Amino acid sequence: MLSHRAIWDGIDALARRHGHSVSALAKLAGLDATAFNISKRINKDGRERWPSTESISKILEATGESFDSFLHGTGAYMQISPHESGQTVPLLGLAQAGSGGFFDSAGFPAGQGWDEVALPSPGEAGIYALEVQGDSMEPLYREGDRIVVSPTEQVRRGDRVVVRTRDGEVMAKILARQSAKQIELHSLNPAYEPRLLDVADIEWIARIIWASQ
C-alpha cells in the first residue's frame, strides 16, 4: 500500500539521493521552499495533507528521475513480474467489474470471463487483479496498470481501495473517511472531486495490495 507516510518518505528519499534537503529540492523544482516541510504534512485540523501531483511531477523533472524510481523510494511499491512467481490470480478489466456475474456477494471472483496475472510472491486465497481504466488515480495508477485486490484485508483510512456500489459502479480510490453511515472517497488526480457514498449503497470494499506497470 502506498500510504500518506510512504509518499512523503518517497520525497525525502528523492532529496537524499540528490544530496538536497527537502527545502532545497522544493526550490530546485521552482516550488516554495517550505512546500515539503514536515510541518506542512498535516493540516491544522489534523487531517493528512498530500503533496500535489503537480509538485511531484516538478521534482521528478528537476531531478531527472522517473515516477517508478520515486515509487521504489517510498518502500511501498512492488512491481509484479510474471517471471518471479508461478502463482497466478484472476484478472478482470475494471469496467467489466461493474457487470453482473463476476463477483459473489462478498466481493470474491466468481463466474466466467476472468483472465490471469502472475504474482511476485505467494499470496492469500481470494485475491484477484483488475486492470485500471480512466485517469482518476494518476499518476499512481495509469490506464492499463494492474492492481491486485484483497477482499479479506482490513480496510482503514488512507488505504487504496476498490469499491463496488449496489448500482454496479466499480472504482479505484483512496478511502479518506468512513463512518457508520457514509464513506468519503478521494482520487489522486485533482481534477476529480471527492465522492460521498452512503454505506447502504456499497456492495463491497476491497483493499489494493499490489500494483504493476
Report the pLDDT value the prediction gives residue 96, as an integer from 0 to 100: 53
Give the integer Cα–Cα distance in Å for 128 and 116: 9
Give, to the nearest 10 degrees, the angle between helix 67-74 and helix 4-17.
110
Residue with cell 483472465: 115
Residues of the chain under the 70 pLDDT cut: 1-2, 68-69, 72-126, 212-213
Report the pLDDT value the prediction gives residue 81, as an integer from 0 to 100: 40
Report the pLDDT value the prediction gives residue 149, as an integer from 0 to 100: 83
Report the pLDDT value the prediction gives residue 100, as an integer from 0 to 100: 58
Polymer length of the chain: 213
Task: Give me the long-range contacts of 136-140 (CB less than 8 A, separation at least 24).
Answer: 136/171, 136/172, 136/173, 136/187, 136/188, 136/189, 136/192, 137/172, 137/173, 137/187, 137/188, 137/189, 138/53, 138/188, 138/189, 139/53, 139/56, 139/57, 139/67, 139/188, 140/2, 140/71, 140/188, 140/211
pTM summary value? 0.47
Q: What is the CB-side half-sphere exposure of residue 196 using CA atoms within 13 A?
A: 4
